[in-house]
Amino acid sequence: MNNIIQVKNLAKSYNTLHGEIEVLKKINIDVKEGSFTSIVGSSGCGKSTLLNIIASLDKQDDGQIITKGKIKIGYMFQDDALLSYLTVYENAILGLKLSNNLSQENTNYVNHLLKEYGLDNFKNKYPNELSGGMKQKVACILSRQKKDQVNGL
């Protein structure tokens, strides 16, 4: 009851040059609304595969992801996925730019987030000048670029 996300009997395999790898098999998870849920497991056990499917970035072979209505999912990738030739600020507004949402309100919000994450003095730096954690913060800002996208995973 009151689940915001339900994973039901999820299965996923990858076809590789060395044959098929079965990564997820009959995975069932209930995520309660308002809860923090951690997916824990050894390297290569399928955590990113599972999250990619929940975020609709990949497709399962079998099973279902059931959400409570139409939810918005914010997802920070394991790799920060920043573009090395853009500054922190340019990376942070990239999503807005590509989706034609570069309004004053939205860029003000990005600036607010950069301040909140302690990156105000790093706006003009390039990713290779940042620590790993700072890069992840920029990636996180990318996924929070609109106020109504704050909720999610």
Judged by CB under 6 A, the residue of 37, 64, 78, 108 near ligand ATP is: 78
CA distances from residue 52 to 93, 131, 151 in whole angstroms, order as listed:
23, 25, 17
49 belongs to the binding site for ligand ATP (CB under 6 A):
yes
48 belongs to the binding site for Mg ion (CB under 5 A):
yes
Partners of residue 5 on adjacent β-strands = 31, 67
107 belongs to the binding site for Mg ion (CB under 5 A):
no
Judged by CB under 5 A, the residue of 78, 99, 108, 124 near Mg ion is: 78
CB-CB contact of 114 with 120 (8 Å): yes
What sign results for the dihedral spanned by CA atoms 80, 84, 87, 92?
A: negative
Q: Which is nearer to ligand ATP, 49 or 145 (CB)?
A: 49
Other CB atoms within a 10 A radius of the CB of residue 117 amount to 18
38 belongs to the binding site for ligand ATP (CB under 6 A):
no
Whole-angstrom Cα Rg for the chain: 18
**Cβ 59 to ligand ATP shortest distance, Å:** 12
Site stretch for Mg ion (CB under 5 A), options 2-10, 30-38, 77-85, 121-129? 77-85
Q: Which is nearer to Mg ion, 42 or 100 (CB)?
A: 42
DSSP string computed for 12-56: EEEEETTEEEEEEEEEEEEEETT--------TTSSHHHHHHHHTT
Catalog residues that contact Mg ion under the rule CB under 5 A: 47-48, 78
Catalog residues that contact ligand ATP under the rule CB under 6 A: 14, 16, 21, 23, 41, 43-49, 78
